[in-house]
Amino acid sequence: MSKTKLEYIWLDGYFPTQNMRSKTKVVNDFGGKLEDCPMWSFDGSSTRQAEGGSSDCLLKPVAIFPDPARKDGYLVMTEVLNADGTPHESNGRASIDDDDNDFWFGFEQEYFIMDTATELPLGFPRGGYPAPQGMYYCSVGGKNTHGRHIVEEHADLCIAAGLNFEGINQEVACGQWEFQLFAKGAKLAGDELWVARYLLDRLTESYGYYIEYHPKPLGKDMDWNGSGMHANFSNTTLRTCGDQATYEKICEAFRPVVKEHIAVYGEFNDQRLTGDHETAAITDFSFGISDRGASIRIPIATVESGWKGWLEDRRPASNGDPYKIAGVIVKTVKSAKV
């Protein structure tokens, strides 16, 4: 009889920023497929998802990946259901209207690596600041590059887990990094992003670090770039239309629903979306070709391909839920009715 460790991962009920939770189920003679993963339960009263008198919530497996850091292990992303099997109110994945996987998403996840001893980003001295930003972006060498060892290890773990991992780079601020993921299907994109975050957070346990997803962890008035999670997206229309007017109509569909989008684009995003540091102001809406100061950037590659490609929403914060972000983008694009 063989034993397999299944790590069930879910999102808790904290609002507006949910946290990952996980626990291990050891099963016998596991077949290795999603359909072989049983439903499970947990104490929702400990995660702000139920009352103590009726505390059981259900975990519905929705995606499975090999666990590259555990012998005979798998990572199981799950949705939270109520005891009666209906989606829990904290379950953003269940509300995504993309069952045919027509929407493709590429997320650019920025984050800071923090030292638990100093509670400062790597490269920051105690009681002071490193050199101003400018030399850190895509830097090489020990003077300006901090944390490459953990970033490289994380990349290897993601690739070994079978995630569609597309790249890494140090970002504009000291101790700030980014990784990129792509998936065909809005739900799968969220699954993979959350599992990649899980692998990164778990990895820090071995180094005395933690990952800070706050979009402006150094303070809103500090002259350092914040952290975002730019959402690159397309559907069949965007990939094939070949028409500038269609692109502009889709972009304009975002203008009247700014508040709806900002509501799910991440907590404290007002500290990041100021109009400075390559952002548009949180109260504004704009779009433009190759414009990193716009709310939505139309990539130059899309234009050069004859208006066939994708769009980039630059407003989502680094701590946003990719399920909710993808869900509202899908809803708005479909509302354009092109």
**Backbone dihedral angles phi then psi of residue 168, each to the nearest 5 degrees:** -145, 155
Rounded average pLDDT over 168-174: 96
Report the SS3 class of residue 6.
Answer: strand
pLDDT of residue 84: 96
In a domain, 306, yes or no: yes
In a domain, 223, yes or no: no
Rounded average pLDDT over 259-272: 97
Per residue in 182-241, pLDDT (tens digit) is 999 999 999 999 999 999 999 999 999 999 999 999 887 778 889 999 999 999 999 999
- Both 242 and 337 in one domain: the answer is yes
In a domain, 197, yes or no: yes
Burial of 258 (0-12, 13-18, 19+ CB in 10 A): middle
- Both 109 and 86 in one domain: the answer is no
What domain range includes position 244?
230-338
- Both 204 and 236 in one domain: the answer is no
CATH number at residue 144: 3.30.590.10
Please count the structural domains in the chain: 3
* Residue-by-residue DSSP string for 154-183: HHHHHHHTT--EEEEEE-SSTTEEEEEEEE
In a domain, 255, yes or no: yes
Please report where in the chains the tokens 């109520």 appear, as a residue.
Answer: 82
Per residue in 65-118, pLDDT (tens digit) is 999 999 999 999 999 999 999 999 999 999 999 999 999 999 999 999 999 999
In a domain, 222, yes or no: no
Q: Which of the listed residues 58, 91, 124 is the one where a domain comes to its end?
A: 91
State if pTM tops 0.95: yes
Query: How far is the C-alpha of 46 from the C-alpha of 220, rounded, in Å?
Result: 32
Q: Which of the listed residues 21, 56, 91 is the one where a domain comes to its end?
A: 91
In a domain, 132, yes or no: yes
pLDDT of residue 144: 95
- Residues 123 and 113 sit within 8 Å (Cβ to Cβ): no
| DSSP secondary structure code for residue 97 in this structure | -
- Both 155 and 186 in one domain: the answer is yes
CATH number at residue 52: 3.10.20.70
Other C-beta atoms closer than 10 Å to the C-beta of 328 total 24
Beta strands in the chain (DSSP E): 3-11, 20-28, 40-43, 56-66, 73-81, 104-115, 120-121, 165-170, 176-184, 209-212, 229-234, 287-289, 296-298, 311-313
Structure tokens that stand for 171 in this block: 């970002």
In a domain, 217, yes or no: no
Whole-angstrom Cα Rg for the chain: 20
Q: Kindly indicate the confidence band of residue 32, based on its pLDDT and cuts at 50, 70 and 90.
A: very high
Query: How far is the C-alpha of 23 from the C-alpha of 338, rounded, in Å?
Result: 44
Q: Looking at the predicted structure, is the pLDDT value of residue 10 above 90?
A: yes
In a domain, 98, yes or no: no
| DSSP secondary structure code for residue 314 in this structure | -
Write down the H helix ranges in 213-283.
236-240, 244-252, 258-262
- Both 25 and 55 in one domain: the answer is yes
